[in-house]
Amino acid sequence: MTRQFFGTDGIRGRTNKGVMTAATAMRVGQAAGRHFLRGDHRHRVVIGKDTRLSGYMMESALVAGFTSVGMDVVMTGPLPTPAIALLTREMRADLGVMISASHNPFEDNGIKLFGPDGFKLSDDDEARIEALLETELELADAADIGRARRIDDARGRYIHAVKRSLPDDVRLDDLTIVVDCAHGAAYEATPSAIWELGAKIITLGVEPNGRNINDGVGSTSLDALKARVIAEGADIGIALDGDADRLIVVDEKGTAVDGDQIMALIGSQWAAQGRLRGGGVVATIMSNLGLERFLDAKGLSLIRTKVGDRYVLEAMKAGGYNVGGEQSGHMILLDHATTGDGTVAALQVLAALVKSGRPASEMLHLFDPVPQLLQNVRFESGDPLAAQAVKDAIAAGESDLGGSGRVVIRKSGTEPLIRVMAEGDDADLVKRVVHSICDAVRGAC
């Protein structure tokens, strides 16, 4: 079945347009609620959100949908996505919902769904819910309509869980940390957790107004964090995105550290401590070849998946791995969370910093990334990748790079774009390969 609503990470779009309307949200609540009405117990859904203006509208619509089919609703207010995953499991809810468009601007919003185990829904569950959206759904009898309530201790529960992820023998008392919360869902929880662990914190992006989420701050906009780290003489800076499931780090010199370096650090540290399961790390096809070489030198493997943290998670669960993530900063540490958690990942980095006694600029740059270039080509219709000229250009690029590089070509899951990436030891060759394939794609369009 062709998906009209669900993408690679729930439902997402421009608010009040397309799929991201209050009417659709209510239908999603009804469909997801009906799908998870299993057994004769009183059913419950946990709903959280980030700080977007449209979050109130989408929350109200979802509450109407869920209660209309007989589900009770627990609302948490603004909390990180991983907090909703955690609370869904801990409160024995049948379903969890996070209202967020992650790192997108405030005009967008989205709906992410979690099952009772705290993991994102499977493709099969999403397909069944999508099918229900097209049907006339059975509503609850008047006496069975669900109740809705807000809870006040959700943030405290999450902070407690986050702090427990730090080793018992580690305190952050000697660190000065700039914490950038992107004016998003973690604007209260993450600074509180890190401060309670002893650090001196300097906050950035903690004044949400409904419209400024991810605006000039956060993991996709690092200039403000880099400048603040240097100005304050901080030991390190951490940047989250709008729903706090993503982490990018800035060292004391103002240099950004991406997800590949963070995975290299956590993977190698956990391996040395005997904590790493599966003998390697799971990442996507976009992770740098330098990470693969670094892990190989440590006797560890790199397992690659399609782009998307849900595919990383599927491979981790299937292969028994407990460390995985994406170059963009999604870090999944299954010992502590069921989905990407930027705060939990940050605490693992901070623990390593404390134990090493070395500056972040030394500890967090474990390998030299191989030159990598990514370009996008927009197309209007058809399938440019099926054109023989494009296939020939890709084959020629792979041949030119030989065993010293890679070519990755894929369609965007959200836009009419062909993404062309190549990497290798020769930067000029990488550039020529990418340009040649992009030219062939444009010709096919």
Residues marked as catalytic: 102
Would you call 38 exposed, middle or buried from its count of C-beta atoms within 10 A (0-12, 13-18, 19+)? exposed
**DSSP-derived secondary structure letter, 282:** E
Q: Please report the sign of the dihedral spanned by the C-alpha atoms of residue 38, residue 39, residue 43, residue 47.
A: negative
Q: How far is CA 79 from the centre of its chain?
A: 14
Rounded Cα distance, 242 and 221, in Å: 11
CA R_g for the chain: 22
Three-state DSSP class for 256? strand
Closest CA to 205 of 197, 194, 214: 214
* DSSP H or E segment with residue 424: strand 417-424
DSSP string, 381-402: SS-GGGSHHHHHHHHHHHHHHG
Are 157 and 87 spatial neighbours (Cβ–Cβ below 8 Å)? Answer: yes
Run of H or E residues at 284: strand 280-284
Eight-state DSSP code of residue 124? H
Task: Give the chain's end-to-end CA distance (angstroms, integer).
Answer: 26
Gap between the Cα atoms of 305 and 294, Å rounded: 18
Q: What are phi and psi of 175, to 5 degrees?
A: -100, 140
Contacts of 34 (CB under 8 A, 6+ apart): 69, 132, 137, 138
> Which residues are CB-contacts of 380 (< 8 A; sequence separation ≥ 6)?
416, 445
For every residue of 13-63, DSSP letters joined together read: EETTSTT-SHHHHHHHHHHHHHHT--SSSPPEEEEEE-S-TTHHHHHHHHH
* Structure token digits, residue 310: 């849900």
Q: Which residues contact 11 (CB under 8 A, 6 or more apart)?
A: 5, 19, 20, 24, 28, 110, 111
What's the DSSP call for residue 267? H
